[in-house]
Structure 1
Amino acid sequence: MYNDLFRIGSLTIHSYGVMISIGILFAILLATKRTKSKGLNTDHVLNIIILCMVFGFLGAKILYCIVELPTFLENPMSFFSGSGFVVYGGIIGGLIAAILYCRIKKINFLNYFDLMIPSVALAQGFGRIGCFLAGCCYGKETNSFFGVTFHNSEIAPNGVKLIPTQLFSSAGDFLIMAILLVYAKKERKAGKVGAVYLILYSIGRFIIEYFRNDYRGNVGGFLSTSQFISLIIIIAGGLFLLLDTVKFKKVKHNNT
């Protein structure tokens, strides 16, 4: 909608990049503020954030190229462009980087995962606002009162009312962050906060995909790539919580 904020000579400052930067900044502030209360190391948190940013962007770009494989094969140099990312690729890339770092440093990955995952949701919320301003990840046409019309977008259709799926996603991400912060106030077993995030985000992503109108890949003829990944993550996150609960009940029963 307003992707080009202003120019400095030949340099154009884009609203998408600005919102991503704001999201990362607030994510870092939130994570470092909560570090001491959780008894974790601030240096490890900052190192993990840097690695997750690098490998997250790389993973998001790689998954986008896979989804848009024909387009990528026509122009392989598009990999180095500043547009074209898939959030799940970023999540997977960031997780891999964080796991490897924690293994090398011999620290508990799940503890740091639980600490930092509300910050991830916060950053995603700002990122989706950036998507709205850029016009990407747009929704289907609608006649409803909440429809948004783009006029100068290079990505979204112009002149028609569209469902603002980006803003709905943003609101959902901020809500998930709030839920996680409340949930994490009580001491939980390592990994539970992260599992709740994976379930909530994946449910929201699965639903919002039905209202989006940009191409996002196809699996089995009726699911988008992100919906397929969402189902896998929902099941995995649910099993983690369920098995943990069953194990806890079993131990408690044996002790009685």
Structure 2
Amino acid sequence: MIFLLQYITLFGNTYSSYSLTNWFNYIIVLIITILIRRRYNCNFIKALFVGLLTLAFGVFALHATSNLEYDIMNILVKDGAFERYELTSSYGYWVFMSPLYLLFCAIFCVDFRKLTDYVTPSICIVASLGKLACFLDGCCEGPKDPNGIYMAKLGYKVFPVQLYETLLYGAVFILALVLTFTFSKKRTGYLMPISGMLYAVFKIWAEQYRTWPSELTNNFLNTGHNYWEYFELFSFIGCLIWLIGVIICDKKGKHPKFETNAFMRKVWKIKEELLTKLQNKFPKLKGKISKD
């Protein structure tokens, strides 16, 4: 029910650029799913399932954790001046998706590193189009700049940091898509940490030009730096550690093995029984739904 309400909310405001962007997100995720399905020769339903869940849970996590972050930050600063939606909860995406990725890998017998390759291009394009939506809505822009772009909503020219971010994240998307069909044929699991590191670098650069309404964000805990600069710095370090871990796994030839886990064997058995019942109830589905 929560996810149903989230989708209603997502598509309800059909006149905003954010909603339009989300429609494009789903279309592009579908296209990428088809390409990935052909590249890895995996079941189409599995590829589509992974792509849509990535976007769905990502959107859900952003909304589900926004109030929590607001409360935590207000407790830290204790002045009640914190802007509720000023710090969007992008970390919530990873909080929700990390355990879900592992669960999907176990249920569908997919290598965790290969699964991250599946979804990286879609995450990159969603980030790029999200910044495009921000640019069109005139929010989170840079400071006033006489040589910048005039924003009718603001009434003055600004440094178009959101537009630059759109182009930079779009470049990361193209890079991830190219690597998906080239480099990842020999190596798996490298795309997401590399893309995450590039995203963090671009984000840190962009925050140098962005002006937030609240002094709390612009001068986080009186350090003289933007909140997002610290957040993306930790994100970069995390992706670097992730990348090193993948390299070490490749060197040692270790791969996740879920078939030795008794609990997951029970999960697979339940999954096969459900698929068998579904195929028996709908004979036309026989041969179209893979049990692997």
The TM-score bracket by the shorter chain reads 0.7 to 0.9
Stretch deviating more after TM superposition (118-127 or 232-241): 232-241
Partner of 2:275: none
Secondary structure of the structure 1 residue equivalent to 2:145: coil
Secondary structure of the structure 2 residue equivalent to 1:161: strand
Q: Say whether residues 1:46 and 2:48 are aligned partners.
A: yes
Q: Say whether residues 1:169 and 2:174 are aligned partners.
A: no
Segments of structure 2 that go 5 or more residues without pairing to the other structure are 1-11, 254-292
Match runs of 1:191-210 below 5 Å: 191-210=189-208
Compute the RMSD of aligned alpha carbons. Answer: 3.3
| 1:17 aligned residue (9, 16, 19) | 19
Q: Say whether residues 1:134 and 2:137 are aligned partners.
A: yes
AA matched with 2:187 = K
Tell me how far 1:42 sits from its aligned partner.
Answer: 2.2
Work out the CA distance in 2 between the residues paired with 1:121 and 1:65: 25
TM-score by length of 2: 0.66
Partner of 2:241: 239
AA matched with 1:166 = Q
Secondary structure of the structure 1 residue equivalent to 2:139: coil
Report the number of matched residues: 229
Tell me how far 1:136 sits from its aligned partner.
Answer: 1.9
Render the CA deviation track for 1:225-254: whole Å, top value 9, x for unaligned: 432232222122223334555676799xxx
Partner of 1:28: 30
Identity of aligned residues (%): 19
Tell me how far 1:173 sits from its aligned partner.
Answer: 1.0
Partner of 2:115: 112
Greater RCO, CA 8 A, separation 6+: 1
Work out the CA distance in 1 between the residues paired with 2:72 and 2:247: 45
Tell me, yes or no, if the aligned pair for 2:14 and 2:20 is still in contact at 8 Å.
no
Partner of 2:151: 150
Tell me, yes or no, if the aligned pair for 1:129 and 1:170 is still in contact at 8 Å.
yes
1:223–1:59 Cα change, 3 Å: farther
Work out the CA distance in 2 between the residues paired with 1:127 and 1:63: 18
CA radius of gyration, larger in: 2
Q: Say whether residues 1:181 and 2:177 are aligned partners.
A: yes
Segments of structure 1 that go 5 or more residues without pairing to the other structure are 1-9, 153-157, 252-256
Partner of 2:263: none
Tell me, yes or no, if the aligned pair for 1:23 and 1:122 is still in contact at 8 Å.
yes
Tell me how far 1:12 sits from its aligned partner.
Answer: 5.3
| 2:230 aligned residue (222, 228, 231) | 228
Tell me, yes or no, if the aligned pair for 1:202 and 1:234 is still in contact at 8 Å.
yes
